[in-house]
């Protein structure tokens, strides 16, 4: 009986912690890091090659905006990169998506707190490699 009680208490505490982190992400007012730049050549092809090499999967593509994601919200928050194209102008958004089932929020990779620290650090390293390949300054 004590084991069942401890299991239920642990599950409830974990559920509460995840929703607390989602609340922090939602209320942080720092949902993503943005880079805007102009580039020639096959930028999207380079992004696709980077995504494949770093474990990011194409989540959606509407012709103008692509969303890449690494992770499926098991043990760590999914790491995302959005790439928008308008001619030869590109905009990237880098963030982690914290899904607490009841609450959801996005958090920039450069956010200074400890919320989702591990996935933010991993995504920051990988996405800074991409930005370097594209001739852009790294995220903070």
| Winning range, highest mean pLDDT, from 39-43, 100-104, 125-129 | 125-129
**Tokens 């098991």 sit on residue:** 74
**Distance, CA of 80 to chain centre:** 3
Q: How far apart are CA 29 and CA 111, in angstroms?
A: 10
CA-closest candidate to residue 102, choices 15, 39, 36: 15
User: Does residue 7 surpass a pLDDT of 90?
Assistant: no
pLDDT tens per residue, range 103-135: 788 889 998 888 888 899 999 999 999 999 999
pTM score, two decimals?
A: 0.81
The answer to whether residues 98 and 42 touch, using CB atoms and an 8 Å cutoff, is: no
d(CA 109, CA 107): 7
C-alpha dist (Å) from residue 54 to 18, 23, 63, 74, 102: 26, 28, 22, 18, 30
User: Contact, 123 vs 94, CB < 8 A?
Assistant: yes
Residue (of 138, 127, 135) closest to 39 by Cα position: 135
Task: State CA 76 to chain mean position distance.
Answer: 11
CB 99 within 8 A of CB 110: no
């Amino acid at each position: 009986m004590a084991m069942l009680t401890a299991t239920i208490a642990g599950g409830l505490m974990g559920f509460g912690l995840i929703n607390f982190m989602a609340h922090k992400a939602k209320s942080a007012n720092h949902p993503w890091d943005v880079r805007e730049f102009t580039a020639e050549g096959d930028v999207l092809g380079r992004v696709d090659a980077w995504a494949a090499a770093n474990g990011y999967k194409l989540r959606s593509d509407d012709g103008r905006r692509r969303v890449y994601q690494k992770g499926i919200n098991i043990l760590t928050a999914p790491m995302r990169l959005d790439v928008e194209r308008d001619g030869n102008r590109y905009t990237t958004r880098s963030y982690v998506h914290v899904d607490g089932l009841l609450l959801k929020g996005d958090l920039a990779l450069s956010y200074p707190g400890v919320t989702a620290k591990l996935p933010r650090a991993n995504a920051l390293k990988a996405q800074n490699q991409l930005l370097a390949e594209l001739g852009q300054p790294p995220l903070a």
